[in-house]
Chains A and B, each alone.
Chain A
Amino acid sequence: MASVSLKQIRKSYDGKTDVLARIDLEVAHGEFVVLVGPSGCGKSTLLRMLCGLEAITDGIMSIGDHVVNHLSPAERGIAMVFQSYALYPHMSVYKNMAFGLKVAGQNKAAIAERIKNAAAILKIDHLLERLPRELSGGQRQRVAIGRAIVREPQLFLFDEPLSNLDAALRVQTRLEIAKLHRQLDATIIYVTHDQVEAMTLGDKIVVMHEGTIQQAGSPLALYQQPNNLFVAGFIGSPKMNLFACTVIKATPEHVIVRIGNGATVLVDVDGSAIKAGANATLGLRAEHIEQGQNGSEVFRGVVDIVEHLGESNTIYLRMDDGQEVVIRGDGDKSVASGEPLVFSADSNAFHLFDDQGRALRRLYPGNMVSSKRKPVGSIRPMEIAHINGSRR
């Protein structure tokens, strides 16, 4: 296995517009890195460049100690698992896995040994003589991974490997890929547009947008301290609620802003980089809002739509100034459309972004007690404050 290093990688097809620009990324040995972003953000292009299927316009790409810019895919010591699996349809599972090795000139016994091991790991021993068309989606997926494993690569690349599976199988395969990562001690770079996959699998998540890296970090870091509005909106489900606001008072200890309906909100962020009077955006995750007025900042709205998920309700509200808010409510508390609702959140739950969309540093970024995990009424706001450490 090997580390991967990208320095100032750039990609342009026509020489004028950059599809990818200023990509800097360090991947440590054995790390599981997930590239995530909306479609068209360049994540697949970056993966194909790592693989050697796309030329690198500019920058230095190295795998292990070798600069690989001009090496062919085979010389880079990588293996890729494709979204459509890309199994050779006219070859049996065994031949599919053996093909690359045979071309590389491995002897028959060694090939058989490697395939036996890989098949055992993936539990596909009984499928070796079948053709791909005789396999189910999940089995094809395993064969595709098996074909990558037998090559004993320095680096595994996964291009949205789960998007062709149904929901239940996707969760199962996700777990298996995580296990496989432990088992093989492999360096993996994984592309997905699904932020749940990214959060659950990645040691490091790289959020991409419009050809640049927006933020790279651990799943928790991205969730708690997103760099900018894009990352904040992309990570987390349902999406973070965003309120346009004006800064009234900014200090290094806290910032006070006024939102659309005239209410003021106290936010626990470092306000030294922003001035009173500036436009800003206030962010608040649905799961950090609670029904009732237990939180320090209280709002009112009217319920539009409620989605009952059992363990929680996703409540879509409208405030009096037309601002839409999504709340993750308590599953036991029934709420009906058209009902007025009081909801609240603590000051440390808020995010604040300046007029450029950059995040201000949060002072207490630790996870708040989520409204759905807390038995409503059993913990008072003071106790929450106590749990999070004394503040203010």
Chain B
Amino acid sequence: MTYPAHTQTGWLFRPDFGRLCVHLVLLAYTALALFPIVLILINSIKTRAAIFADPLALPTMKTLTLVGFQKVLASTDFLLYFGNSLYVTVGALVMIILFGAMAAWALSEYAFMGNRLLALFMAIGIMIPIRLGTVSILDLVVHLHLINTRSALILVYAAQGLPLAIMILAEFIRQIPGELKDAARCDGVGEFKIFFQIVLPLIRPAIATVAVFTMIPAWNDLWFPLILAPSDETKTVTLGVQQFIGQYATDWNSVLAALSLAVIPMLILYAIFSRQLIRGLTAGAVK
């Protein structure tokens, strides 16, 4: 018996124009998204003259210089700013995940008075940008004597990230089969233990998603550090970079070097969380 030619190659290897198009579009988008980052990276290791002569050119042996990195690492408080950014971001992240998951668990698991109202209140928090409340926040921070402290930033970023975190986590917690919690209750496990030992491990992918979504705006923010914590001891990286940008002359080498360095912690955190983004952890729990 003979088979038609196309069945021997198999459908897997046939050129699929639909898939090709999808990949082309995605590749184009990737190029677009990576372009500014690549531009920063290649210019951060070029001389000032070369940056202005041809911003798009790759560094050559003649134009290669690390003067920007040297300046940033040696002559400024950059490491302090770096530490401040990390402290604020991680602090906010921990608060958002811990309290966000707890609130999400409460909203999705327990029926109590005002449950719906509270969920709606949180949803409004997603829709209204926190910067609209800057004046009141400043007022509040001043009265709490938290002005020029990193705690003020942590609190503000936690407030900014919580609504979305609660929304996402509640959705995931709702997907955990009820019988799992019932089984734990039959085993005599307390509600706190159920939350920390059953629920939290099961929503790890969601937590990773929330972490990625909330840490990037906190790390990149310029607005609140400028208003709430502009002192030299509490400056974050984004604010610290501003010192290289002058009214008349901008030290582009240092700016680009600082920005390049600022990407690194985000990349590391992202790498950690993206491992957790892999789904399918609940497979095998129930049929």
Contacts and interface: CB of A to CB of B under 8 A. Distances in A.
B116 interface: no
A103 B191 CA distance: 12
B281 A104 contact: no
Interface in A7-62: 48, 51-53
Contacts of B190: 103
Contacts of B188: 72-75, 100, 103-104
A198 interface: no
A73 B185 contact: yes
A89 B182 contact: no
A198 to B, nearest CB: 22
B286 interface: yes
B198 interface: yes
Contact of A53 (B185, B187, B285, B287): B185
Contact of A100 (B180, B189, B201): B189
B158 to A, nearest CB: 27
A85 B177 CA distance: 11
B284 interface: yes
Contacts, number: 88
Interface centre among B177, B189, B193, B285 (most CB of A within 10 A): B285
A383 B284 CA distance: 58
Nearest to B282: A89
Interface stretch (A132-140, A208-216, A310-318): A132-140
A87 B189 contact: no
Contacts of A74: 185-188
Contacts of B54: none
Contacts of B186: 51-53, 73-74, 78-80, 100
A96 to B, nearest CB: 9
Contacts of A103: 187-190, 193
B183 interface: yes
A100 B188 CA distance: 6
Contacts of B16: none
Interface string B256-287: 00000000000000000000000001111111
Contact of B187 (A99, A131, A132): A99
Contacts of B284: 87, 89, 131-135, 140
Contacts of A134: 284
B287 A86 contact: no
A137 B190 CA distance: 28
Contacts of A52: 185-186
Contacts of B97: none
A258 interface: no
Contacts of A370: none
Given A88-B285, A89-B282, A133-B283, A83 B179 contact: yes
Interface in A84-101: 84-90, 99-100
A51 B178 CA distance: 15
Interface string B164-191: 0000000000000101101111111110
Contacts of A84: 177, 179, 285-287
A151 interface: yes
A89 B287 contact: no
B202 interface: yes
A86 B285 CA distance: 6
Contacts of B183: 80, 82, 86-88, 147
B193 A53 contact: no
Nearest to A53: B182
B286 A86 contact: yes
Contacts of B182: 48, 51, 53, 80, 82, 86
B187 A89 contact: no
Nearest to A165: B287
Interface string A100-112: 1001100000000
5 contacts: A53-B185, A82-B179, A85-B286, A89-B281, A100-B189
Interface of A: 48, 51-53, 72-75, 78-80, 82-90, 99-100, 103-104, 131-135, 137, 140, 147, 151, 164
Interface of B: 177, 179-180, 182-190, 193, 197-198, 201-202, 281-287
The 6 closest A-B pairs by CB, nearest first: A133-B284, A74-B188, A100-B187, A84-B286, A89-B285, A86-B183
Given A80-B183, A90-B281, A134-B284, 9 more contacts: A51-B186, A82-B179, A86-B179, A89-B284, A103-B188, A104-B188, A132-B285, A147-B183, A164-B287
